[in-house]
A and B are shown apart, each in its own frame.
Chain A
Amino acid sequence: EAQVTQNPRYLITVTGKKLTVTCSQNMNHEYMSWYRQDPGLGLRQIYYSMNVEVTDKGDVPEGYKVSRKEKRNFPLILESPSPNQTSLYFCASSFLWQKNTEAFFGQGTRLTVV
């Protein structure tokens, strides 16, 4: 089954404690990205990757890091989480430069930073 898998689904952590949210896709997609979803603000892109070892900032990258060492995995790293990073996070993947580029989303990770 084609899917994007995020882990964990729920996470409560304390300010400053490094954490990683994993994302894996099984569709051989070149493009992967991370979004955060906040009430009234929609989906805002944090980072994206166009292929292995190619990553770039999205609209709200501050406080986040990513890596793309393998095509299927795109972890999101919060080196020193703060309460303003409490949000719902989605990983997505798609093919690049295709006529109908459907983005597939994971189930989401609800992060609370206290």
Chain B
Amino acid sequence: QQQVKQSPQSLIVQKGGIPIINCAYENTAFDYFPWYQQFPGKGPALLIAIRPDVSEKKEGRFTISFNKSAKQFSLHIMDSQPGDSATYFCAASPTAYSGAGSYQLTFGKGTKLSVIP
């Protein structure tokens, strides 16, 4: 079974801190790695994504670091704010067909982040 392992399950940081959420994958066919952000009562929404041809991608205060050889990627939130309190999901998928059932956005189990003022 294709898996994406995410840690930690929950995280509490002070405002201004830098929470880091880590994910690891097994399937070498994965070549698209998005992070989704979910606020209570809402559906997940794409936050930032990376492809394995780069090792880092930054959008505002959010940065993805990617280590292809270790099959790991992580999300860093710089200068975290109370408004960043949400559940974060990493995910992975292939973007080329590699057999029946091969296209599937596989999610990690999520990290509940709380940023304390």
Which residues of A are interface residues toward B (Cβ below 8 A)?
4, 31, 33, 35, 40-43, 45, 48, 50, 56, 58-59, 90, 92, 94, 96-103, 105-108
* Consensus secondary structure, chain B interface: loop
Contact of B109 among A35, A40, A58 (CB under 8 A): A40
| Interface presence of B116 (CB below 8 A) | no
| A31 partner residues in chain B, CB cutoff 8 A | 103
A27 to chain B: closest CB distance in Å? 13
Contact of A102 among B34, B104, B107 (CB under 8 A): B34
Instruction: State in angstroms the CA–CA spacing of A56 and B101 once bound together.
Output: 8
Chain B 33-73 per-residue mask, 1 if CB under 8 angstroms from chain A, else 0: 01010000111111001010000000000000000000000
| Interface presence of B27 (CB below 8 A) | no
Taking a contact as CB atoms under 8 Å apart, the answer to whether B109 and A107 are in contact is no
Taking a contact as CB atoms under 8 Å apart, the answer to whether B46 and A102 are in contact is yes
Instruction: State in angstroms the CA–CA spacing of A35 and B104 once bound together.
Output: 12
Which residues of B are interface residues toward A (Cβ below 8 A)?
1, 6, 9, 32, 34, 36, 41-46, 49, 51, 89, 93, 95-97, 100-101, 103-105, 107-110
| B89 partner residues in chain A, CB cutoff 8 A | 42-43
Taking a contact as CB atoms under 8 Å apart, the answer to whether A43 and B44 are in contact is yes
Contact of A108 among B36, B43, B104 (CB under 8 A): B43
CB-based nearest B residue for A102: B46
Instruction: State in angstroms the CA–CA spacing of A58 and B51 once bound together.
Output: 24
Taking a contact as CB atoms under 8 Å apart, the answer to whether A43 and B107 are in contact is yes
Taking a contact as CB atoms under 8 Å apart, the answer to whether B107 and A98 are in contact is no
Pairs A–B under 8 Å by Cβ, sample size 16? A4-B43, A33-B105, A35-B107, A42-B6, A42-B110, A43-B44, A58-B104, A97-B96, A98-B95, A99-B51, A100-B32, A101-B32, A101-B93, A103-B36, A103-B44, A108-B43
| B109 partner residues in chain A, CB cutoff 8 A | 40-42
In the complex, the 5 A-B pairs of residues with the closest C-beta atoms, listed nearest first: A105-B43, A42-B109, A43-B107, A42-B110, A102-B46
Taking a contact as CB atoms under 8 Å apart, the answer to whether A100 and B42 are in contact is no
B92 to chain A: closest CB distance in Å? 11
